[in-house]
Structure 1
Amino acid sequence: MDDLWQWLDANRAHGGREGLLLRMLKLTEEVGEVAQAVIGATGQNPRKGTTHTWDDVQSELCDVVITALVALRTLTPDAREVFTEHLGRVRERSVGAPAARTPGP
């Protein structure tokens, strides 16, 4: 993720607070693309019919995850640790047991 963040950061059109806000808003754009793909996969728009597949929805969901991780990395260089700790807390309150730690890179 760091290499993707570095590339995006080096090629951003806006810096400072504006760049930060735009990076966060990118997440909303990607979520909208998930919605568009779901509508297209289910044929909910009678004018357009079925325009997407569930594979398209999966791809768009992956884009949301990637964009969220890039946004998190934009806020902190410790994004991996922040995410891992948060996931552990969510898992513990949801299923009650801490996840087994796996060695990471």
Structure 2
Amino acid sequence: MMLTPDHWATIRRLVAWLDQENGRSQHETTLRLLKLTEEAGEVAQAWIGVIGQNPRKGVTHTRQDVAEELCDVIVTAAVALASITDDPATVLGGKLDKIAARSGMAI
């Protein structure tokens, strides 16, 4: 599912909140982009917990935990995207169309 206009409105409110709290300097934008790495690491940590990869810890997470962490990645990416472009929905839609076309899917 593509993000809806309501989703983008929420993302814009989150961006406005961050802008109010932290500004939108190049440094702040960099931190918003780096936040993606942190969130992706949490996805990996949760998946490791699902499969029990760490024998010392065993199974520590569920697939629902992984799904929620993936949602954090999506929201964080959307906030970062909306922080660097005025029309994040069009940018995302265009990119999704390109990926679909590359994979031979009908657009």
Given the two structures, how large is their TM-score scaled by the length of structure 2? 0.84
Helix, strand or coil for the counterpart of 2:70? Answer: helix
For the pair 1:76 / 2:85, whether they are aligned, the reply is yes
The 1-side partners of 2:82 and 2:66 are apart by 24
Deviations along 1:76-95, whole A, 9 cap, x unmatched? 01111111111111111212
| Unaligned 5+ runs, structure 2 | 1-10
- Structure richer in helix, relative to its length: 2
For the pair 1:29 / 2:9, whether they are aligned, the reply is no
Shift of 1:15: 4.1
Superposed structure 1 runs of 4+ greater than 4 Å apart: none
Mapping for residues 48-87 of structure 1, pairs under 5 Å:
48-87=57-96
Helix, strand or coil for the counterpart of 2:46? Answer: helix
Given the two structures, how large is their TM-score scaled by the length of structure 1? 0.86
Structure 2 counterpart of 1:18: 27
For the pair 1:92 / 2:101, whether they are aligned, the reply is yes
**Alignment partner of 2:16 out of 6, 9, 12:** 6
The 1-side partners of 2:37 and 2:69 are apart by 12
Structure 1 counterpart of 2:5: none
The 2-side partners of 1:22 and 1:72 are apart by 13
Shift of 1:96: 3.9
Helix, strand or coil for the counterpart of 1:95? Answer: coil
